[in-house]
Amino acid sequence: MQLTDKFIIPPISILDVKQGYWKRRRKQWLELGIQSEIGRGENLLSLSPLLKTKHNGTSIFDPVLCEIMYKWFSKVGDLVMDRFCGGSVRGIVAGKSNRRYIGIDIREEQIKENKKQSKTFGLNSKYYNTANIPNTKYDFFFTCPPYFNLEKYSDEVDDLSNMNEEQWWVEYSDILNKSITNLRDNRFAVIVIGDVRRDDGSYMKLPQRTIEIMETNGLKYYNDLILLQEPATAAMRANVYMDCSRKIAKCHQNVLVFVKGDEIRATNRLGNVEIKHKVNDFFE
């Protein structure tokens, strides 16, 4: 039996979205009609007209990554907390994977659209704004925070993407600190994050400092995965970057996995990984 037959995606530290098995699975999900970009502005990355010919300008979370994180690190019936939910994809995939889901976002426009899509898919995913976060225990923490100011999501002063670096770290740390308090013991947490450069060209160390924050909260840094993305604009950027500054064009993100409590108990609680070989099977 191949690893893809048992786990959907091979459970190794490199997750390559360019592989045929990944593309086929993503196509199945998107053909269901997920529209995670609705409720978000266009060209949040502020790409030039030339770069927009290679990229739509707004990042969309990968449904396959959602699915394997749910299947690998949670079980049917678990309650998922997503503190930076953004678009609808993580909630839809959670619901179709028989997980309960709570998504938090600062923008009412996004919450309204996510609720609409959840209803369209016949799901009961819950969405709240940051002023009404429910105080409830949950089983899996899965989120993708703003990468500092890489994308501008709104003009609200409490939006992390509008803060300076010092403010960003204070607020980001506080959000993680409060969120992890309600994660049940012997459970996993996954944060998808990528590094960004400051104006002086240096990296902010978003993955490294995220690890530090989680460890300060008593979680163990358990798995380190690299999500290899489609090159998209990387080739165009690489040519300019190398000649002008010797910067390397980045086309990967970090998938950081943590465990709260005992990893053996956390694993035994989940049992074997359960999959369905066709996304359409979720509707049967």
Strands 126-129 and 100-105: parallel
Closest CA to 192 of 226, 160, 161, 162: 226
| Beta bridge partners of residue 255, listed in sequence order | 192, 225
Question: In this model, does residue 233 exceed pLDDT 90?
Answer: no
Question: In this model, does residue 66 exceed pLDDT 80?
Answer: yes
Cβ-Cβ contacts under 8 Å for 278 (sequence gap 6 or more): 28
At residue 41, the pLDDT reads: 55
Question: In this model, does residue 241 exceed pLDDT 80?
Answer: yes
Rounded CA gap, 144 and 215, in Å? 18
pLDDT band, residue 284 (cuts 50/70/90): very low
At residue 44, the pLDDT reads: 47
CATH hierarchy code of domain 3-41+63-283:
3.40.50.150
208: left (phi over 0), alpha (psi -120 to 50) or beta: alpha
pLDDT: which is higher, 254 or 279? 254
Residue that has been written with the tokens 């995220």 in this structure:
210
Q: What angle do CA 154, 38, 122 make, to 5 degrees?
A: 125
Q: Where are the domains of the chain?
A: 3-41+63-283
Mean pLDDT of 19-43: 82
Mean pLDDT of 197-215: 96
pLDDT band, residue 22 (cuts 50/70/90): very high
DSSP 30-71: HTTT--TTTTS-S-TT---HHHHTTS-SS----HHHHHHHHH
By the 8 A CB rule, do 192 and 255 touch? yes
pTM, 2 dp: 0.89
